[in-house]
Structure 1
Amino acid sequence: MTVAQQFQAFIKNTWYAYDTSDLVSKAIVLALCVLSMYAWSTMIEKGFSLGRVRRSCRRFLEHFESAESVLELSLRESDFGGPLAEAYFVGLMEVMNILEVDASQVDLYCRRRLLPRLLTENEIVKVRAVIERSLTRQNQLIEERLGMLGTIVTLAPFLGLLGTVWGVMMAFVGMAQQGRPDLSVLAPGVSGALLTTVVGLVVAIPSVVGLNGILSWVKQTNVDMDNFVDDFVAKIRLEKTGAIGGAQAQAAPGAATAPRQGTTAA
């Protein structure tokens, strides 16, 4: 048989199994088809969106890790996108708010890569919390619909098994009602019953592969997020301080000390 003939036979046999199954088995097959469409749409959408997120995170981290100052990327907001860039600018604005930098002077401080003073430990904790909260919101968007995909992976084989058990039971009930063993009565019911298990596995197998791949990407993205938070805090501790307009800023009492601390007059 040619490939085309084998495919035609497969379609014919599958339709026969579906057509000879009872209403419950047909409903389970249709439900599994709906779940399959949802699973595939989720995997495709998450695959593309996570790919964009991973690329944006790698690009931003390359620039951020090579920057000598935490303020170096502050004037390039339009050049970056993604969760890390958003968290960076949120954290930077929180730093400026804590230091009570006037809005008209934020760009000037950023251009000169200076902070009015070093942050205290409590202020650093607050900045970290703001950044982590921003990343948590982004992570929730990334993981959206993955819970349902995991449910489909678990549910599909059991739905298929339920249809098989139900179909076999009904096939034997039909044979018992006839009062004699008859393969022509038993076979259609069994074939329809087994179809639900096949469909359940067809739904579950690619879904579990896709889910594991997506979760692997999510895990890598979470690692990048955690590393970014640590790097941001480390850089902010080492940031140079200075005043705009000639007056030298003094570090606040209890401010974190840093080996690179210096002063620069405007």
Structure 2
Amino acid sequence: MSSELSIFGLFWQASLLVQLVMLLLLAASVASWTFIFQRSRALSRAKSEMKKFEDKFWSGVDLNRLYQELVARQSVQGMASLFCAGFKEFVRLRKSSSTPSEAIMDGTYRAMRVSLSREIDELESRLPFLATVGSISPYIGLFGTVWGIMNAFIALGEVQQATLAMVAPGIAEALIATAMGLFAAIPAVIGYNRFSHQVEKLENNYGNFMEEFSSILHRQALVSKPDSSMSSGQPQG
């Protein structure tokens, strides 16, 4: 490709509107890749922390001790956050001997549901941006393409003798806008679909843990006195 038809040369020769379209798509692409790397690390960390918590929870550890260890941290996330929210509410409601077990479990489950909603909102952070970029970038690029080709044919109509060399730069800059739109959209769509699937799997795992943990606490509410110490994460007979 000659210097006149290089990508940078075509960018500087393009009209102001096409230049703005290219810069917008470039910014969207950079932001998308930034969020893709951020979400990839965040979801990998969430899966790792979930696995560690499940291993410890089902190892037979005392729930009181596990709760104290978790709240001593500066921040608790993921499945551990659901456990802390549910266990805290369960202990608070059990202090009242007049509270029926059904009310205790309803309050405990609601506390875990609120915590679950917050965790899923955090995991889904930036995903709407990726979906937006994946949806509109091809159309923005197409707009730049149409505008560039329109200008090329307008310029072509103003000369007596048209040649391919006269129309080629305008068409080339228009096609670059299309390519940049696809370059921004494809990674964003792939990232959104991949991360949405991972978030869905994490949400299902969190939901399963809530049901299992609720069953354990329900047994405790039925057979334990308010002043009894909580035992391990394994269900009691």
TM over 0.5: yes
Identity over aligned pairs, percent: 24
**C-alpha distance 29-185 of structure 1, shift in aligned 2 (>3 A):** same
Q: 1:11, CA displacement in angstroms?
A: 11
Identify the residue that residue 25 of structure 2 maps to in structure 1: 32
Give the structure-1-normalised TM-score: 0.76
Q: 1:168, CA displacement in angstroms?
A: 0.6
**1-structure distance, mates of 2:126, 2:226:** 49
**2-structure distance, mates of 1:225, 1:100:** 27
Which amino acid in structure 2 is aligned with residue 213 of structure 1?
A: R
Identify the residue that residue 89 of structure 2 maps to in structure 1: 94
For residue 144 of structure 1, give the secondary structure of its aligned residue in structure 2: coil
Which amino acid in structure 1 is aligned with residue 15 of structure 2?
A: D
* Residue pair 1:70, 1:236 contacting (<8 A) in 2 also: no
Q: 1:186, CA displacement in angstroms?
A: 1.0
Give the structure-2-normalised TM-score: 0.84
The yes-or-no answer on 1:142 pairing with 2:123 is: yes
Identify the residue that residue 58 of structure 2 maps to in structure 1: 65
* Residue pair 2:3, 2:9 contacting (<8 A) in 1 also: no
**C-alpha distance 243-175 of structure 1, shift in aligned 2 (>3 A):** closer
Q: 1:48, CA displacement in angstroms?
A: 1.1
Q: Deviations over 1:89-138 (max 9, x none)?
A: 1111101111127xxxxxxxxxxxxxx79952232122111101011112
- Correspondence list, 1:180-259, <5 A: 180-239=161-220, 240-242=223-225, 244=227
Which fold has the larger relative contact order, with Cα–Cα distance below 8 Å and residues 6 or more apart in sequence?
A: 2
The yes-or-no answer on 1:123 pairing with 2:104 is: yes
**2-structure distance, mates of 1:65, 1:219:** 23
Gaps of 5+ in 1: 1-7, 102-115, 246-258, 262-266
Q: Deviations over 1:223-265 (max 9, x none)?
A: 11111111111111222414649xxxxxxxxxxxxx946xxxx
* Residue pair 2:149, 2:171 contacting (<8 A) in 1 also: yes
Q: Which protein shows a greater Rg?
A: 1
Instruction: Report how many aligned residue pairs link the two structures.
Output: 227
**2-structure distance, mates of 1:243, 1:177:** 91
* Residue pair 1:117, 1:241 contacting (<8 A) in 2 also: no
* Residue pair 2:130, 2:191 contacting (<8 A) in 1 also: no
| Deviating more after overlay: 130-139 vs 175-184 | 175-184
* Residue pair 2:101, 2:218 contacting (<8 A) in 1 also: no
Identify the residue that residue 231 of structure 2 maps to in structure 1: none
